[in-house]
């Protein structure tokens, strides 16, 4: 779905940080690292399968990366925010997965997928066409952001604006453009943007303002956003954050549906964790699994950040559990 590593891996202030802490081999390496210290049990060997499911983060390792509309403060008004909030309210993670599946797997365009979703969910109902003028919705260079941008275009057009969607690139490019008013709206991720702005406003390595609590994350985001000339709509229930996936066949064989169950039943030599090269050093990846859940993999396979290498290794039975993005179109929702 994208070529980026979620900031929630633990590198505060970074956006596309793949390889920053490449202590475990190059991305795409098919080998595995030596067994982790403390992985003394038998573990759970990989099980191939065509369906991937996300294990529940029942102890809240990850911070709340809910979708949220970010708006240039000078352009924002209550009518615009109300229209954007219609998108937030219409989405949850399962629906976001379905949108991504339609684009990334079924190969529809983001514009077509957004229009189909808007029609099916009566997204523009009740939006008064009371506004005028031109707006630019900026989007990042991955399909989910583009689909969300098209949804924003639909509701803002219904509100009376003349709207254009413009792909800009990564956050280092589009966030300054949003502050300056060169673009007016961007679909964003609450925890990731909070820490990005936290680093800009409060300097290098400030205390985290995002958390597993969405209200706290949103409060922190609004605080640093105000200092950056940004306003925000309401966060959506839909999230795109780091998650750990297994095949459905693996989950059924070993009886695991949560990360606590994975730690209890699968810590040990046969268990292979897969993810980006920096995962073993990151507090939201292997370090966090050990610290929060007590999970110890027998070995680590250096792959990619939630991309085709990791998903392929799960499908083919090369790794037991892999780091993915929670809204990936390949994730099964039932």
In angstroms, how far is CA 313 from the centroid of its own chain?
20
Topology of 67-232 in CATH?
Dipeptide-binding Protein; domain 3 (3.10.105)
What's this model's pTM, rounded to 2 decimal places?
0.89
Burial string for 168-207 (b: 16+ CB within 10 Å, else e) reads: beebeebbebbbeeebbbbbbbbbbbbbbbbbbeeeeeee
Topology of 7-61+241-325 in CATH?
D-Maltodextrin-Binding Protein; domain 2 (3.40.190)
Average of pLDDT values for 307-320?
98
- Decide: residue 120, CB within 10 A, 0-12 exposed, 13-18 middle, 19+ buried: exposed
- For position 334, what pLDDT does the model report? 78
Q: Which residue has the higher pLDDT, 188 or 36?
A: 188
Report the distance separating Cα 160 and Cα 146, nearest Å: 21
Average of pLDDT values for 106-130?
97
- For position 13, what pLDDT does the model report? 33
* 38-47, 64-73, 108-117, range with the lowest pLDDT: 38-47
- For position 22, what pLDDT does the model report? 27
- For position 39, what pLDDT does the model report? 61
Domain-wise residue ranges, the chain: 7-61+241-325, 67-232
pLDDT-derived band at 40, boundaries 50, 70, 90: low
Q: Which residue has the higher pLDDT, 197 or 41?
A: 197
- For position 30, what pLDDT does the model report? 38
Report the distance separating Cα 196 and Cα 125, nearest Å: 34
**282-313 per-position pLDDT tens digit:** 999 999 999 999 999 999 999 999 999 999 99
pLDDT-derived band at 41, boundaries 50, 70, 90: confident
Average of pLDDT values for 220-246?
98
**140-193 per-position pLDDT tens digit:** 999 999 999 999 999 999 999 999 999 998 999 999 999 999 999 999 999 999
pLDDT-derived band at 16, boundaries 50, 70, 90: very low
Q: Locate tokens 């290098």: which residue?
A: 204
What are phi and psi for residue 242, nearest 5 degrees?
A: -60, 140
What are phi and psi for residue 70, nearest 5 degrees?
A: -105, 135
Average of pLDDT values for 312-327?
98
């Amino acid at each position: 779905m994208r070529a980026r590593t979620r900031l929630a891996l633990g590198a505060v202030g970074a956006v596309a940080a793949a390889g920053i802490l490449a202590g475990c081999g190059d991305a795409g390496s098919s080998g595995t690292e030596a067994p982790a210290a403390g992985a003394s049990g038998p573990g759970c060997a990989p099980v191939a399968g065509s369906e991937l499911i996300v294990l529940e983060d029942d102890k809240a390792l990850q911070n709340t990366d809910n979708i949220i509309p970010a708006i240039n403060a000078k352009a924002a008004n209550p009518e615009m925010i109300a229209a954007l909030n219609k998108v937030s309210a219409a989405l949850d993670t399962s629906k976001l997965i379905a949108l991504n599946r339609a684009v990334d797997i079924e190969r529809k365009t983001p514009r077509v997928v957004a229009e189909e979703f808007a029609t099916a969910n009566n997204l523009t109902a009740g939006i008064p066409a009371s506004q005028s003028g031109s707006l630019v919705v900026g989007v990042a260079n991955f399909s989910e952001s583009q689909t969300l941008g098209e949804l924003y275009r639909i509701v803002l057009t219904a509100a009376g604006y003349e709207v254009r969607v413009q792909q800009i690139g990564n956050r280092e490019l589009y966030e300054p453009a949003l502050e300056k008013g060169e673009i007016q709206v961007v679909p964003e991720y609450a925890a990731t943007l909070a820490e990005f702005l936290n680093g800009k406003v409060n300097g290098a390595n400030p205390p985290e303002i995002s958390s597993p609590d969405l209200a706290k994350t949103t409060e922190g985001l609004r605080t640093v956003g105000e200092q950056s000339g940004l306003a925000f709509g309401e966060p959506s229930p839909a999230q795109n954050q780091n998650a750990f996936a297994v095949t459905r066949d693996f989950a059924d064989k070993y009886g695991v549906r949560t990360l606590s169950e994975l730690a209890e039943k699968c810590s040990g030599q046969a268990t292979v964790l897969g993810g980006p090269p920096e995962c073993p050093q990151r507090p939201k990846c292997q370090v966090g699994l050990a610290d929060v859940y007590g999970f110890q993999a027998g070995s680590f396979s250096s792959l990619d950040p939630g991309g085709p290498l990791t998903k392929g290794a799960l499908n083919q039975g090369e790794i037991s559990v892999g780091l993915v993005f929670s809204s990936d179109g390949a994730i099964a929702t039932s």
